[in-house]
Amino acid sequence: MNKIEIKKINGDLIFSYEHENNTVKKTLEKAISSYADLRGADLRGANLIDANLIDANLRGVDLIGVDLRGANLRGANLRGVDLSGANLIGVDLSGANLSGVDLSGANLIGVDLIGVNLSGANLIGANLRDVNLRGANLRGADLSGVNLIGVDLSGVNLSGVNLSGVKDIPQSYINTCSRDMLYIFHTLKTELPQLREKLVKGEINGSQYEGSCACLIGSLANIKNTNPKDFCKSLLPYYNMGLHNPGEQWFYQIHSGDTPKNNFFAKHAVKLIDEVLLTD
């Protein structure tokens, strides 16, 4: 018989299980089925390949560097969990709560994340290649340096998401944001030269509506010498300002000092402006 204990980082015992040919995976599955309180559990580097963790409450568990390949985490609560560097290839995360989770450097190649809540998650440097994020909530998540090759971003909530340094932004997302920006640019063509100048000089800050360096709507309002709300009401019919708008999401990635020379988002915005200015 092999006895395995799950402990906190300070050594306090949380759960123990004794069984023939026992493993950490079997012990964790038993703890979950026994409704053990796993908050603070130290499972760093554990081998949890193909583990059955359906509806598990893993909030507060340390899962740094865990191998979860093929694990079933449907409906699991992983809110705020540290999964940095974890291997999640083949994991079923449908219906899981991943808000605030640390997935920095994690391997998520090909994982199905349709409709998953990833709001506020840390995805810095994670590999999201070929991941399906349709309908997922990424509000406020940090995707800087992420690999997005082959990622489906259809219907994804990207409000306040940090995309700086992202590799291979999906063309479908670029197209969606471009259409929204072009609507604004064509509607306010006379203001574009000044907006272009602000982009070239690095005088855009996509995170705020007020100030000399402001976001897309804030900058245009400044050019018209009005406030953003009144600007939208009078000059942009049927447009409600906010980061739910793809064009504003695009400008959110542009910060003070960012120019077309050092920022892809600023460069693309200037390209669209030039296209509009060339039309009759």
CA angle, residues 105, 106, 112, in degrees to nearest 5 = 140
Tokens of 103: 């997935």
Q: How far apart (Å, rounded) are the C-alpha atoms in residues 231 and 235? A: 6
pLDDT tens-digit profile of 122-175? 999 999 888 888 888 888 899 888 888 888 777 787 888 888 778 788 888 899
Nearest to 31 by CA among 8, 14, 46: 14
Q: How far apart (Å, rounded) are the C-alpha atoms in residues 172 and 150? A: 10
Q: How far apart (Å, rounded) are the C-alpha atoms in residues 147 and 169? A: 8
Tokens of 230: 């009144």
For domain 39-169, the CATH class is mainly beta
CB neighbour list of residue 189: distance below 8 Å, 6 or more residues apart:
276, 277
Q: How far apart (Å, rounded) are the C-alpha atoms in residues 110 and 104? A: 17
The residue extents of the domains of the chain are: 39-169, 172-277
User: Do residues 40 and 19 touch, judged by C-beta distance below 8 A?
Assistant: no
For the chain, 280 residues long, give each residue's pLDDT as a single digit of tens.
799 999 998 999 999 999 999 999 999 999 999 999 999 999 999 999 999 999 999 998 999 999 999 999 999 999 999 999 999 999 999 889 999 999 999 999 989 888 889 999 999 999 988 888 888 888 889 988 888 888 877 778 788 888 877 878 888 889 999 999 999 999 999 999 999 999 999 999 998 999 889 999 999 999 999 999 888 888 888 888 888 899 999 999 999 999 999 999 999 999 999 999 998 6
Q: What is the length of the chain?
A: 280
Place of tokens 């009144």: 230
